[in-house]
């Protein structure tokens, strides 16, 4: 005899340990199976776009740091690149190299957190997370050495970076990039063939490439579905065309692939950092741009490959000291578009893993 079932609505969040911040998920369940979900966001909407339009260009750099607080370097770099394009100024060689080193370190730090969270989500409460944090702290120490902050750096400036690297930075970085591959191998030993992780992630939450493209998904989530779109390669910015690195892709597009994708990208980032350190030239790190800038009228769109995907800044200048329009193309927000298709039909416990494997940051979604 088939049992009759009735759907019920389960509200998850906005404050919930597994929602990566203040995200609310209204799930309709039939037994344990999710039959409908509605993501509700905006609980961290701080109005950054409006605030940025009310402040001078220079004062918006700290706001950009606070967009994605796990990848502050990448975000402020994208913003200063957009303003530099508006102003038509160039950046000294050494500053370009320093920027690349910083954003690639930031990518590793961010992916460490993402991988740790996926492991958390499947129930290994905080054990792999602690391993990831051990290395993340070392990256934060490197940032601390350069700019005195652990999380929100305010290091990028129009026409370069705020100041040169301290003397002790390069030896410390060299030590780190020599040790990090060993640590990544250690994660693989712990996780890659782990029975529980395989059962909980293989084949779960498949994102087909056609859907991913149609939904404008970007970053590791897109590449795990087999689409090799990486802005560093398809629209090279800064000095990325000088480095040798691969764009790893996966084929299945499930949670396991999204986790593996991030591990591979960490290795590629290490390759880039190693080459950048070898080629690092001497010279100026800042091309004396006045603090108050007045870009000429016009609009500009700059996109970069942030750890979570394609981050874009659309700026409109009316010739005054403040941006007329300041828009952020936030990868985390747009990566949520196919969430319904990915989750519906899976059990509630899988929904949390699928959600975690997209790797979102609320600060960037809500802005």
Partner 1 sequence: MQALSFDEIAGLISAKYAPEMVAPSQGSLVVGGEHLLEVASYLRGTPELDFDYLISVTAVDYRGHFEIVYHLTSLQHSHSLVLKVRCPQDKPVMPSVVSLWRGADLQEREVFDLMGVSFAGHPNLKRLFLWDGFKGYPLRKDYSSGT
Partner 2 sequence: MEVGRERIYSAAELDAHEGALIEALRASSQQPVTDPDEWLQKELQRNVLVTSVDAVLNWSRRSSLWPVICFPACCAFEFIGASASRFDMSRFGMDILRGSPRQADLLITAGTLTWKMAPQVRRLYDQMAEPKWVIAMGACGITGGIFRDSYSVVPGYNRIVPVDVYVPGCPPRPEALLNGIEMLRQKINARSISTEGE
Instruction: Record the tokens describing residue 350, joined without a space.
Output: 């899988």
Site string for partner 1, 19-58 (x = CB under 8 A): ----------------------xx--x-x-xx--x-----
Instruction: Record the tokens describing residue 146, joined without a space.
Output: 């350069």
Site residue total, partner 1 (CB under 8 A): 35
7 near partner 2, judged by CB under 8 A: yes
Q: Which does 227 bind (CB under 5 to 8 A by kind): partner 1, partner 2, none?
A: partner 1
Contacting residues for 60 by C-beta, under 8 A, at least 6 apart: 52, 79, 323, 326
How far is residue 224 from each of residues 120, 181, 235, 362, measured CA to CA in Å? 20, 21, 20, 22
Rank residues 66 and 250 by Cβ distance to partner 2 and give the closer one: 66
Binding residue for partner 2, selected from 16, 271, 294, 347, defined by CB under 8 A: 16
Spatial distance between the Cα atoms of 213 and 249, rounded to a whole number of angstroms = 15
Please report where in the chains the tokens 């967009």 appear, as a residue.
Answer: 67
Spatial distance between the Cα atoms of 236 and 238, rounded to a whole number of angstroms = 7
Residue 118 CB, nearest distance to partner 2 (Å)?
A: 15
Alpha carbon 217 to chain centroid distance? 13
Site string for partner 2, 115-154 (x = CB under 8 A): --------------xx--xx--x--x---------xxx--
Rank residues 52 and 108 by Cβ distance to partner 1 and give the closer one: 52
CB 19 within 8 A of CB 12: yes
56 near partner 2, judged by CB under 8 A: no
229 near partner 1, judged by CB under 8 A: yes
β-strands 325-329, 309-317: how paired? Answer: antiparallel
Exposed e or buried b per residue across 100-115, where buried means at least 16 C-beta atoms within 10 angstroms of its C-beta: bbbbbbbbbbbbbbbb
175 near partner 1, judged by CB under 8 A: no
Residues of the chain by 3-state class (helix, strand, coil), percent to 5: 50, 15, 40
Contacting residues for 182 by C-beta, under 8 A, at least 6 apart: none
152 near partner 1, judged by CB under 8 A: no
Rank residues 137 and 210 by Cβ distance to partner 2 and give the closer one: 137
Rank residues 32 and 54 by Cβ distance to partner 1 and give the closer one: 54
Site string for partner 1, 289-318 (x = CB under 8 A): ----------x-x-x------x-x-x-x--
Given the rule CB under 8 A, which residues bind partner 2? 2, 5-7, 9, 14-17, 21-22, 28, 30, 35-36, 38, 42-48, 50-51, 54, 62-63, 66, 69-70, 113, 129-130, 133-134, 137, 140, 150-152, 362-363
């Amino acid at each position: 005899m088939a049992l009759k079932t009735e759907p019920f609505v389960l509200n998850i969040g906005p404050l919930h340990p597994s929602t990566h911040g203040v995200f609310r998920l209204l799930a309709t369940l039939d037994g344990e199976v999710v039959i409908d979900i509605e993501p509700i966001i905006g609980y961290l909407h701080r109005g950054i776009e409006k605030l940025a339009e009310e402040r001078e260009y220079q004062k918006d750099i700290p706001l950009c740091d606070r967009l994605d607080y796990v990848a502050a370097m990448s975000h402020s770099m994208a913003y200063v690149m957009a303003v530099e394009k508006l102003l038509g100024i160039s950046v000294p060689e050494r500053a370009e190299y320093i920027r690349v080193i910083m954003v690639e370190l930031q990518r590793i730090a961010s992916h460490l957190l993402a991988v740790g969270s996926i492991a958390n989500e499947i129930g290994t409460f905080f054990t792999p997370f602690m391993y990831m944090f051990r290395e993340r702290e070392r990256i934060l120490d490197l940032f601390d050495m350069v700019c005195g902050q652990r999380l929100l750096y305010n290091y990028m400036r129009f026409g370069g970076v705020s100041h040169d690297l301290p003397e002790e930075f390069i030896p410390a970085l060299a030590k780190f990039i020599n040790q990090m591959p060993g640590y990544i191998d250690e994660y693989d030993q712990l996780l890659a063939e782990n029975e529980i992780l395989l059962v909980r992630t293989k084949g779960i939450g498949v994102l087909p490439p056609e859907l991913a493209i149609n939904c404008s998904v970007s970053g590791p989530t897109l590449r795990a579905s087999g689409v090799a779109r990486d802005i560093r390669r398809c629209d090279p910015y800064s000095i990325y065309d000088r480095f040798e690195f691969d764009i790893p892709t996966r084929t299945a597009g499930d949670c396991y692939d999204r986790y593996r994708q991030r591990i591979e990208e960490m290795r590629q980032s290490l390759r880039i950092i190693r080459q950048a350190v070898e080629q690092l030239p001497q010279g100026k790190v800042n091309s004396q741009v006045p603090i108050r800038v007045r870009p000429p009228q016009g609009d500009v769109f700059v996109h970069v490959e942030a750890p979570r995907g394609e981050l874009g800044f659309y700026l409109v200048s009316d010739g005054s000291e403040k941006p007329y329009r300041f828009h952020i193309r936030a990868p985390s927000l747009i990566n949520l578009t196919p969430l319904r298709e990915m989750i519906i039909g899976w059990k509630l416990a899988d929904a949390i893993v699928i959600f975690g494997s997209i790797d979102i940051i609320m600060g960037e979604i809500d802005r």
